[in-house]
Amino acid sequence: MSKQNEKVTINIDNQVLEVKRGLTILQAAERNNIYIPTLCAHQDLTPFGGCRMCIVEVEGMRGFPTACTTPVEEGMVIRTHTAQVQAERKEILQLILSEHTSSCLICDEKDECKEYMGTIRKAGVITGCRYCPNDGQCELQEVVERLEVKEIDYPVYYRHLRVEKDDPFYDRDYNLCILCGRCIRMCQEIRTANTLAFKQRGRYTVIGPAYDRTHLEAGCEFCGACVSVCPTGALSEKVRKWDGKADREEITTCPLCGVGCQISLQVKGEEVIGSLPAEDPMVNNGQLCVKGRFCVTELVGNYQRLRRPYKVQNGTKVDIFWEEAIELAAEKLSACSGEDFGMLIPPNFCNEDLYLAQKFARVALGSHNIDTTARSFYESGFNTYLDLMRMGAPLSDLQEASVILCIGLDTRFGRSVVGVELRKAIARGAKIISIHPRHHSLSVIADKWIQPVPGTEVSLLHSLVRLTEKKRTGTTRSKSKGIGESLGDELATVAKTLKGTSAVVILVGSEFLPYDQSPQILEAIERLARNIGAGVLPLPAQSNLFGSILMGAYPELLPGGFSSTDKKRIAGLRKKWNADIPHLSSRSNKEIFSSGKRLKMLYLMGEVPPNLRPPSEFLIVQNIYPPVPWDGGDLVLPSAAFTEVDGTFINGEGRIQRVRKAVDPPGEALPDWEILCRIAKKMGAKGFDFSSAREIHEEISSLVKGFGDFDNPARKATSLTCEGELTVSQRRSSGTKKADKKLPFLLTTSMVEHTYRGFPLSTWVEGASALFAPGVVDINSEDAKKAGISERDEVVVTSSHFEKTWPARMVSEQPKGTLHVTLLRGESVGPNPHPVKIRKKNV
């Protein structure tokens, strides 16, 4: 088609316009600043024509077509605000208002009321605009004002629907619903989750999951996309319900997993009141998971945030000034040798903080004893996981994939933007294959769900590797112990599918990482990928695992991912930093943290004392929240959250992404890098005269290849480059033990991955405890009934290695004869998986 034919000439309200062919009348009008009222149309959704507020007159066309569904044509003459069109719109709007709480909308005193009413009247049931959390942000309000509706000529009907407040993050008052269908279309078209639908008919029509299920039962991901598009106050966030409209927004990177979604922080005054998805075609495409959408506000705005330093003296908390805190820290650290010092940091820090932390340890303390909690999360599979990151494929490859193999991946509450891409891939005709031992988000949508018995995953994957070897011909079922004949037939079918396509992507989740045989599982995934030429995308739970490797935040690694035993690199750093950096001793920090050796100094930066922390003479805790219990540190320093600092993250794809400051830290809290710089200078260390994260970034760029510009990072997906290798302790595998009469259940455990700065999100975010609270044992409903166990009963779980008590959660999809529990960091129950028995406590 020629460029001349790509546009058409139309006339809207006597304005001759040249617009793009294929646009609707509404889109053409909006792009030329011509107002046409609408309540059901949205830029991200397909035209619906349900509210009929956008009706217009078109010469030569019968009736009043809806502007949102009518495409423009050459020579079309359109009138948007004739007397008859406006009269029809007012009539339709009155019908809508007759079933909507609308007293304030048509009140003669609404302007005076709004001007002199100092506060929003908070109420359980919304009876008017002044009692609505969406007051001032409501599209229905705007349409009423534009059309100047002053009264309702129809009987007013209040629907008397129950206000639904049971779900964790937002309330639903469908008495305010105008049935525009936006939330349904967002759920079905954009999120492709299909949780919501119209129910009933006529005046009894409502919106919600089918069959009167709760949103949790219906598989809702609580992404909040429905809340974002609601034009009225029918859907409202619990936390920011009465905060009103934000003054400004700041685009930054979410730190709550390795996907690295771009989020828009909603700021009012000096407070973050909410977070919304940012339009970002590289990563999240305007979508977020429940953590980025609803958890940020409570996480950074909790009243219990640390606001000033304190020390614990004789069991008493004593608030102190920064000068005293820095002097005390410097005094204790100066008196400590490198061998008696340990620093633990999280892999969800900004690169600038990670870099400065390892420089602080190596220059100010003369020690390589710095480590991240990623080591305890990945344990013996850490190096193998990094091997997969070296093969890393970008998330965008999913858009071209014919087959997507998901191993140990659940995308419901974490990484749900990946789940959206998977559902879109299915719509394009791609096949999804999932290997997972428990019911998960892909169970229903996958073309093939391979459900191994816990403990047989290695055999299963080895069979798949053999079946996909290039030299192998045919699809004969591979013989492997423990996987069962029917499962072997399914693997043969899967192998044929994988070998029969050239566009395969393998996604790796967290399910199998805590298993004793995780190194063998990850090695099998690598071999499988090489057999079929697939791209591999590990989806780390930590936001900056990639960055922690490149910044050298481990004893065995230097900045750039080089080995700490590389004498040439050590010499280069000595020259760069003008400091005497020690050679790495044979004993790594991992052994120090696990040996129980009494350290003289332990510095927890962005971490909390774990349940089984190594003993230390003096403990510094630097975080945004006080340790639990509050006297868990000798010196506690208040630091800034990610919403209060500038910096960069590197997501699981290797994209360098900006973190931008939105508000100032509360009280006297400071950025982590600034606290370290103050302490280092007090100790007399050189090379810590940084005044901003930008300056730290510039120093990193001189050491780490491709680190790039601070303000405009390239954001190009890259595979991990790491020459060093980490020291890992091999787990003692329990083998493939089967349940028996004495120990009839098979228990699997996972470590809590929804964390920020050492704390599970459920600690500070009330709604998170309903979705992913740790320390709860999942039991099949029928198994629980046989054992006389009810929901939330205390259950004693016993094996040959331990005896633990956890509250029970009935899960109908949990495989019979199996249990699952998510452990807090620092907890251990021995081999994983292994057989156990259960009983109700005190019975």
- pLDDT tens digits for range 426-464: 999 999 999 999 999 999 899 999 999 898 999 999 999
Higher confidence at residue 141 or residue 730?
A: 141
Residue 650 has pLDDT above 60, yes or no: yes
Residue 778 has pLDDT above 80, yes or no: yes
Tens digits of residue pLDDT in 352-385: 999 999 999 999 999 999 999 999 899 899 999 9
Q: What is the mean pLDDT of residues 595-606?
A: 84
Q: What percent of the chain has pLDDT over 90?
A: 74
Residue closest to 170 by CA, chosen among 120, 210, 226: 226
Cut 0.75: pTM above it:
yes
Asked if residues 433 and 446 have their Cβ atoms less than 8 Å apart, the reply is yes
- C-alpha–C-alpha distance, residues 295 and 86, integer Å: 43
Domain spans of the chain, in order of start = 2-124, 170-301, 310-380+545-701, 402-537, 745-840
Q: Which two tokens stand for residue 705?
A: 């290849």
Asked if residues 39 and 231 have their Cβ atoms less than 8 Å apart, the reply is yes
pLDDT band at 686 (very low <50, low <70, confident <90, very high): very high
Secondary structure class of 264 (helix, strand, coil): strand
pLDDT at residue 122, as a whole number: 74
Torsion of CA 307, 313, 317, 323, to 10 degrees: -20
- C-alpha–C-alpha distance, residues 682 and 266, integer Å: 38
170-301 topology per CATH: N-terminal domain of TfIIb (2.20.25)
- C-alpha–C-alpha distance, residues 373 and 841, integer Å: 33
Q: Angle at which helices 457-467 and 485-499 pack, to 10 degrees?
A: 40
Q: What is the mean pLDDT of residues 268-293?
A: 94
The answer to whether the Cα torsion of 275, 281, 284, 286 is positive or negative is positive
pLDDT at residue 569, as a whole number: 92
Q: Residue 65 corresponds to which amino acid?
A: P
- C-alpha–C-alpha distance, residues 755 and 430, integer Å: 33
- C-alpha–C-alpha distance, residues 14 and 35, integer Å: 14
520 phi and psi, to 5 degrees?
A: -70, -35
Residue 483 has pLDDT above 70, yes or no: no
Tens digits of residue pLDDT in 212-270: 888 988 889 999 999 999 999 999 999 998 898 999 999 999 999 999 999 999 999 99
DSSP 547-580: HHHHTT-STTEETTTEETT-HHHHHHHHHHHTS-
Q: Angle at which helices 351-359 and 672-682 pack, to 10 degrees?
A: 20
State the CB neighbour count (10 A cutoff) for residue 79. Answer: 15
Residue 480 has pLDDT above 70, yes or no: no
- C-alpha–C-alpha distance, residues 543 and 292, integer Å: 12
Q: Which two tokens stand for residue 310?
A: 């304190």
Tens digits of residue pLDDT in 509-562: 999 999 999 999 999 999 999 999 999 999 999 999 999 999 999 999 999 999
Q: What percent of the chain has pLDDT over 70?
A: 94
Q: Which two tokens stand for residue 750?
A: 């996972």
Residue 669 has pLDDT above 70, yes or no: yes
Residue closest to 455 by CA, chosen among 476, 484, 430: 484
Average per-residue pLDDT for the chain: 90
DSSP annotation of 295 reads: I
717 phi and psi, to 5 degrees?
A: -70, 130
pLDDT at residue 633, as a whole number: 87
Tens digits of residue pLDDT in 697-708: 999 999 999 898
- The lowest-confidence range among 231-240, 577-586, 798-807 is 577-586
402-537 topology per CATH: Dimethylsulfoxide Reductase; domain 2 (3.40.228)
- C-alpha–C-alpha distance, residues 279 and 271, integer Å: 22
DSSP annotation of 639 reads: B
Residue 736 has pLDDT above 60, yes or no: no
Asked if residues 344 and 371 have their Cβ atoms less than 8 Å apart, the reply is yes
pLDDT at residue 472, as a whole number: 61
pLDDT band at 1 (very low <50, low <70, confident <90, very high): very low
pLDDT at residue 595, as a whole number: 54
Provide CATH code, domain 745-840: 2.40.40.20
The neighbouring-strand residues paired with 312 are: 317
For residue 833, say if its preceding peptide bond is cis, omega within 30 degrees of 0. yes
pLDDT band at 610 (very low <50, low <70, confident <90, very high): low
pLDDT band at 485 (very low <50, low <70, confident <90, very high): low
Q: What is the mean pLDDT of residues 418-424?
A: 95
Residue 739 has pLDDT above 90, yes or no: no
Residue closest to 259 by CA, chosen among 289, 219, 223: 289
Tens digits of residue pLDDT in 613-645: 567 889 999 999 998 877 788 999 999 999 999
pLDDT at residue 399, as a whole number: 92
- Sequence-distant (6+) residues with CB within 8 A of 523 are 384
Q: Which two tokens stand for residue 96?
A: 């809508």
Is domain 2-124 given the CATH code 3.30.70.20 in the classification? no
Radius of gyration of the chain (CA): 29
Q: Residue 115 corresponds to which amino acid?
A: E
pLDDT at residue 256, as a whole number: 96
Note the CATH architecture for domain 310-380+545-701.
3-Layer(aba) Sandwich (3.40)
Asked if residues 459 and 481 have their Cβ atoms less than 8 Å apart, the reply is yes
pLDDT at residue 785, as a whole number: 92
Asked if residues 255 and 348 have their Cβ atoms less than 8 Å apart, the reply is yes
Residue with tokens 């050459």: 74
b vs e for 650-669, b when ≥16 Cβ sit within 10 Å of the residue's Cβ?
A: bbbbbbbbbbebbbebbeeb
Residue closest to 809 by CA, chosen among 784, 843, 839: 784
Residue 589 has pLDDT above 50, yes or no: no
- C-alpha–C-alpha distance, residues 127 and 524, integer Å: 61
pLDDT at residue 588, as a whole number: 46
pLDDT band at 718 (very low <50, low <70, confident <90, very high): very high
The full 3-state SS of 350-411, as one line of letters, equals CHHHHHHHHHHHHHHCCCCCEEECHHHHHHHHHHHHHHHHHCECCHHHHHCCCEEEEECCCC
Q: What is the mean pLDDT of residues 73-96?
A: 95
The answer to whether the Cα torsion of 198, 217, 756, 554 is positive or negative is negative
State the CB neighbour count (10 A cutoff) for residue 290. Answer: 26
Q: Where is 29: in which H helix or E strand?
A: helix 25-30
